Amino acid sequence: MEQAIQPSLQSQLDAQKAASAAPVTATIDVLVAALVASGIQERSLKVGDHAPDFTLPDALGRPVSLAGVRAMGPVVITFYRGEWCPFCNLTLHAYQAILPKITALGATLIAISPQTPDHSLSMAEKHSLEFAVLSDVGNVVARQFGLAYHYDAATRAFFEQRGFNLAQFNGDASWELPVPATYLLSSDGTIRLAFVDPDYRHRLEPTDLLAGLRGMKGAQG
């Protein structure tokens, strides 16, 4: 029996975008254009840069250090917005599906968002995630990677009128988020692959992530 061809992650994200309400999509398009114009993508960490070390709590409040994870081999870090974001849910689910292949290539996958550990735990349980989901409350680490931005008052009001309150998820009133991004680090902390897109409806394909890991493994002999 032939194995069913799985839809690409981007095709799933495009379907989610198509299902979004028109006013929300229009507002997001404006926000994305403003983020692109801000130059945040150019300011974010890139291939060849050294990732800053950090220690963040996982969904159970246990500290996880990047240095400790790097000691075991390559690391995949994916920044996401939170459990409330359907595009993030699709992405993390897609990465969970390739987790055995990531592990077989000697790498460790960790996901980071600004939401509190309670919400991280909810997400990990809801989506049966088997990798570490870390809480970067206040976007301290996201800021070090050059990924943090905040919603202005008008945008906050737009979403609050629709019943969404980011402060409830993040535990602060900053309305600050990371640009979703995925990085592949070698064991010394050097960034070997960087995918940063101000449009959170675009994410790194699992196939491209695995290709990056295989290429790095091949280069190391």
Q: Looking at the DSSP assignment, which residues form a beta bridge with residue 109?
A: 76
What is the per-residue pLDDT across 170-188, written as a single tens digit (0 to 9) for each? Answer: 999 899 999 999 999 999 9
% of the chain surpassing 70 pLDDT: 96
pLDDT at residue number 5:
54
- How does the average pLDDT of the chain come out, rounded? 91
The pLDDT assigned to 82 comes to: 92
Mean pLDDT of 118-129: 78
In 10 A of CB 8, how many CB atoms? 13
The arrangement of secondary structure in 9-219, i.e. its CATH architecture, is 3-Layer(aba) Sandwich (3.40)
Calculate mean pLDDT across residues 51-79. Answer: 96
The two three-digit tokens of residue 198, written as one number = 């101000």
Mean pLDDT of 193-208: 96
192 φ, ψ to 5°? -105, -20
d(CA 89, CA 93): 6
Q: Give CA–CA dist 10/201, Å, rounded.
A: 8
Domain boundaries, the chain: 9-219
The 8-class DSSP code of residue 190 comes to B
Task: Please write the tens of the pLDDT for every residue from 3-18.
Answer: 445 789 999 999 999 9
Within 13 A of 91's CA, how many CA atoms are on the CB side? 29
Rounded CA gap, 23 and 40, in Å? 25
